[in-house]
A = this chain, B = another copy of it.
């Protein structure tokens, strides 16, 4: 059902041009001094990350709000130390699942303005992290950062405490090197990124005029596609998260006593879920399976070993005819449906002869960049309605759209993308891949929609092939080079002149 459209553009040129245009990296260039300063302060920066990881900033757990408060205070102090004028904006109260009001974590807004004549970048970051429990398979305490070999282990080291501190390290490097910061910076740092960025949109909207001078929005998050070649992210798919609920009666029953006396809920649910994809996992929902044109060039350039990926994970046979570009295209820009789990049935190892009465299938559909969420949900409702009619089950079936993350795409043909390309080229000595992200990033889409500014995402962490949500890690090298790269980005961004001709004829992924 899905078709791939390739358009051939030549992004290689971009990187080449970026490198050849660089004139600031001579032996005494400011960039070299900045890079050296970062290396000198290496231990301080690692220690900062150790301190920040120690705060259990799990936004999805209500009882961690005190940790969150301390982490925000910690960061405000650190920002003040590098001359950022920052404060925590209170967002009021939030209701817990038990209907208890608890305060929302503050959103940090900070400014570091040197001169109105310099361009102003908005740096977005988040302090909160995903849940982490030792019992899930962590080899170390997730909230005590531990250096093992060349890696730092701990929750948030790669997403997104490490990248956030890289910005602070980069600014510190300018101070240490005695180089004036070439850009103005506005910080927006939230702590509810793992709760759907609750409140972020309001903060932006209420201060819309405050952000009017911002030239672009930059964030350091996610990972490269490759283990060795840096990548810069120019867009991500949208996503709709669904609950599909089937209920057969008003309480759990025993298959001993009640097996055969009613239509059970789980078989209905499994049947419905089975009708959403074909064996190749193509989405079977009519009218929603069209693909976004994928830039053949970016896919081709992407440094990603599909075979190694498969071997590493012991995947019995790779789909997509083992073609890297098909797999990447599918992950970057085509609709995809994943089933994540089932609520309400027995998930424990014990034996229970239960007939679950209400079960919820949890799945998400990643959207091609040109798919409208409302169209997909409408088509899904229709599809499920038809299947349910055929099934003729008397049970209650309900589809619930839990949340939507719209897709976003950056304007690659812009100073910020050129600056990012140059900064990465100079830091890593290799031209970066232009990549899309298979995941759905909420913050870029909010910034793009509310502030109408171009967004560029600069990951600093290499792809940990087969890396799992537990034992999160980042290499010391990635952390240090990431700080250098952000320092370089600010430098390069100031060098770019939006009025100059460098954007013309540039071969970048289509916007």
Which residues of A approach B to under 8 Å, CB–CB?
Answer: 60, 131, 223, 241, 248-264, 266-267, 270-271, 273-274, 277, 279-281, 306, 309-310, 313-320, 327, 330-331, 334, 336, 338-357, 362, 364, 366, 391-396, 402, 437-440, 466, 468-469
Residues of B with C-beta under 8 A to A280: 263
A246 smallest CB distance to B (angstroms): 11
Q: Contacts A320-B261, A352-B340 given: A267-B255 contact, CB under 8 Å? A: no
Residues of B with C-beta under 8 A to A338: 255, 259, 264, 353, 355
Out of B131, B248, B257, B440, which one reaches A315, CB within 8 Å?
B248
State how many copies of this chain the complex holds: 2
Give the CA-CA distance A440 to B257 in the complex, in Å: 10
Out of B266, B313, B320, B347, which one reaches A343, CB within 8 Å?
B347
Residues of B with C-beta under 8 A to A279: 263, 271, 391-393
A436 smallest CB distance to B (angstroms): 12
Residues of B with C-beta under 8 A to A281: 260, 263-264, 267
Give the CA-CA distance A438 to B257 in the complex, in Å: 5
Residues of B with C-beta under 8 A to A466: 250-251, 253
Q: Is the CB of A250 within 8 A of B343?
A: no
Out of B277, B317, B354, B468, which one reaches A267, CB within 8 Å?
B277
Residues of B with C-beta under 8 A to A334: 260
A271 smallest CB distance to B (angstroms): 5
A133 smallest CB distance to B (angstroms): 11
Q: Is the CB of B343 within 8 A of A341?
A: no
Q: Is the CB of A402 within 8 A of B439?
A: no
Q: Is the CB of B260 within 8 A of A438?
A: yes
Give the CA-CA distance A348 to B340 in the complex, in Å: 10
Residues of B with C-beta under 8 A to A249: 313-315
Residues of B with C-beta under 8 A to A349: 343
Q: Is the CB of B306 within 8 A of A261?
A: yes
6 contacts between A and B (CB under 8 A): A250-B313, A250-B466, A255-B364, A260-B327, A267-B281, A279-B392
Closest chain B residue to A356, Cβ basis? B341
Q: Is the CB of A258 within 8 A of B316?
A: no
Give the CA-CA distance A362 to B255 in the complex, in Å: 13
Residues of B with C-beta under 8 A to A346: 340-341, 362
Q: Contacts A263-B281, A341-B342 given: A394-B252 contact, CB under 8 Å? A: no
Q: Is the CB of A347 within 8 A of B353?
A: no
A405 smallest CB distance to B (angstroms): 11
Closest chain B residue to A251, Cβ basis? B468
Q: Is the CB of A327 within 8 A of B261?
A: yes
Give the CA-CA distance A351 to B59 in the complex, in Å: 13
Closest chain B residue to A467, Cβ basis? B257
Give the CA-CA distance A469 to B355 in the complex, in Å: 11
Give the CA-CA distance A400 to B256 in the complex, in Å: 21
Residues of B with C-beta under 8 A to A320: 260-261
Q: Is the CB of A313 within 8 A of B274?
A: no
Give the CA-CA distance A350 to B315 in the complex, in Å: 27
Give the CA-CA distance A273 to B343 in the complex, in Å: 17
Give the CA-CA distance A357 to B280 in the complex, in Å: 16
Give the CA-CA distance A466 to B260 in the complex, in Å: 15
Out of B131, B256, B313, B350, which one reaches A251, CB within 8 Å?
B313
Q: Is the CB of B256 within 8 A of A394?
A: no
Q: Contacts A260-B438, A281-B267, A393-B279 given: A340-B345 contact, CB under 8 Å? A: yes
A326 smallest CB distance to B (angstroms): 9
A224 smallest CB distance to B (angstroms): 11
Q: Contacts A267-B281, A279-B392 given: A256-B439 contact, CB under 8 Å? A: yes
Give the CA-CA distance A348 to B391 in the complex, in Å: 28
Select the residue from A251, A309, A327 with max chain B CB neighbours within 10 A: A251
Give the CA-CA distance A241 to B279 in the complex, in Å: 27
List 4 A-B pairs, minimum CB-CB distance, nearest first.
Answer: A256-B439, A341-B346, A317-B394, A347-B347
A419 smallest CB distance to B (angstroms): 27
